[in-house]
Chains A and B, each alone.
Chain A
Amino acid sequence: DAGVTQSPTHLIKTRGQQVTLRCSPKSGHDTVSWYQQALGQGPQFIFQYYEEEERQRGNFPDRFSGHQFPNYSSELNVNALLLGDSALYLCASTFRAGELFFGEGSRLTVL
């Protein structure tokens, strides 16, 4: 049983560019959350998707947007990248309010 898978694992962008990160949830899970983890910090909640809608959102600007597809997979989009967006982006999935399972993350470097 595959766990949460994320792609790409690493990527490098320049300021002002846009990035799309992808996540496939664990089999049987219907809810996907995204977190940003800066170096030396704990993960920070970006938003959560359920039934293809954004259900909750953390304190992140509108440059961060997402989408959930009918197969429960999800994308995180970040526009107008800033140096401060460099971080590990973690996707986590769950079934309803059960245990969160995290992927290994996508490491974004903004130059």
Chain B
Amino acid sequence: QKEVEQDPGPLSVPEGAIVSLNCTYSNSAFQYFMWYRQYSRKGPELLMYTYSSGNKEDGRFTAQVDKSSKYISLFIRDSQPSDSATYLCSRGANNLFFGTGTRLTVIP
């Protein structure tokens, strides 16, 4: 079983839509969860992180962790074409375990 499993997508939505990206993880000892965004031909950049359970909001982005179901989610409100990228969920501190990534395309 992989440490982090992610819906592979790809996902295509119209501009302004609400996007939901999801991952599950296997080890209940995980505390730090992160979402990275990777544009084509670029390295990943940290978008948001959460510690333990609960929600964290940053502008149009909300990260959610449900430890009871081992579920990690990222919600994007009012999606923009500039949000088109691959989104990677991960867990860990020093060495990160990543999901496979979900490729998102927001159509103008």
Q: Name A's B-contacting residues (CB within 8 A).
A: 4, 31, 33, 35, 40-45, 48, 55-56, 58, 90, 92, 97, 99-105
The 9 sampled A-B contact pairs (Cβ below 8 Å) are A42-B4, A42-B90, A42-B98, A45-B95, A56-B95, A90-B43, A97-B94, A99-B49, A101-B46
* Cα–Cα distance between A55 and B94 once the two chains are bound (Å): 10
* A44 adjacent to B98 (CB under 8 Å): yes
Chain B: interface residue total (CB-CB under 8 A): 20
Q: Name B's A-contacting residues (CB within 8 A).
A: 4, 6, 41-46, 49, 88, 90, 93-101
When distances are taken between beta carbons in the complex, the residues of chain A under 8 Å from B4 are 42
Leading 4 A-B pairs by shortest Cβ distance? A42-B98, A102-B43, A45-B95, A104-B43
